[in-house]
């Protein structure tokens, strides 16, 4: 007899927002509606310990067909209610609500919102530019998924030199649920045990992604987590949670 599966409504944006409201009510975080986008309200979440000189930035849902990322960010928050109040958090739970509802990588205009961070035309990304331009970041974490993924992997932009071992520990934590992607080339970039360290001077030809914007403009550590979207949703969520938790170890 198959084991019962936990029920998710992973493309129900209204339900996602309801769950974030519950988290905020229980943890003391503040949830603020910042604008409307493609007929959906967009929200920013931040903690009472928010510190403009030491921000922890997390985002998910910029690609709407990567619902495990938005669910993973939510599950991490649900599992760490006591910790949330003390962290200087700035969270964007879903950067592309239309895409999430319609299971689309793109927004309603057909734009890949993760390729326009050099000259953003999207009103939400413009807002984030203005909101963050004077902030200093402890770390930036972007949650994603990959349709072609064969395991978990991450991006950590690098200017060379000897990197810390943080990326390795993140992959190890996620491997308790999904093994590291074994491919040596992922999206045309060299990968080692699920870790890609792209040169900032060689951005995707389609345009500048969110993580690279923050790395270049704010000179901060940046991680992009990727889980394989064709794997079991529960395992993907658990892997995303494990990776975020490892950041704070």
Q: Provide CATH code, domain 19-159+172-247.
A: 3.40.630.10
Cα 241 from Cα 71, distance rounded (Å) = 9
Q: What is the pLDDT of residue 161?
A: 63
List residues bridging with 44 in a β-sheet. 32
Residue 110 CB contacts under 8 Å (≥ 6 apart), including other chains = none
* 215, two tokens: 């790395």
- Helices and strands in the chain: count of H runs, count of E runs: 8, 10
Cα atoms found within 13 Å of the Cα of residue 44, Cβ hemisphere only: 16
Domain boundaries, the chain: 19-159+172-247
Average pLDDT, the chain: 94
pLDDT tens digits, 60-100: 999 999 999 999 999 999 999 999 999 999 999 999 999 99
Q: What is the pLDDT of residue 163?
A: 73
């Amino acid at each position: 007899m198959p084991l019962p599966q936990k029920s998710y409504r992973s493309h129900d944006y209204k339900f996602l927002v309801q769950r974030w409201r519950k988290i905020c009510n229980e943890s003391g975080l503040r949830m603020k509606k910042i604008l409307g986008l493609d007929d959906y309200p967009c929200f920013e979440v931040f903690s009472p310990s928010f510190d403009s000189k030491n921000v922890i930035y997390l985002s998910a849902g910029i690609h709407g067909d990567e619902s495990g990322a938005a669910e993973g960010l939510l599950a991490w928050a649900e599992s760490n209610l006591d910790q949330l109040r003390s962290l200087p958090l700035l969270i964007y739970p879903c950067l592309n609500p239309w895409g999430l509802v319609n299971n689309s990588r793109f927004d309603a205009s057909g734009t890949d919102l993760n390729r326009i961070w050099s000259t953003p035309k999207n009103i939400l990304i413009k807002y984030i530019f203005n909101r963050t331009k004077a902030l200093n970041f402890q770390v930036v974490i972007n949650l994603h998924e990959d349709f072609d993924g064969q395991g978990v992997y991450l991006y950590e932009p690098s200017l060379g030199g000897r990197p810390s071992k943080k990326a390795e520990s993140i992959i190890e934590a996620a491997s308790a649920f999904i093994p590291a992607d074994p491919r040596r080339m992922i999206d045309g970039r060299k990968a080692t045990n699920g870790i890609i360290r792209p040169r900032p001077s060689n951005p995707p030809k389609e345009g500048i992604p969110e993580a690279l914007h923050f790395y270049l403009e704010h000179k901060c550590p940046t991680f992009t987590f990727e889980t394989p979207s064709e794997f079991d949703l529960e395992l993907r969520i658990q892997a995303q949670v494990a990776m975020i938790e490892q950041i704070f170890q």
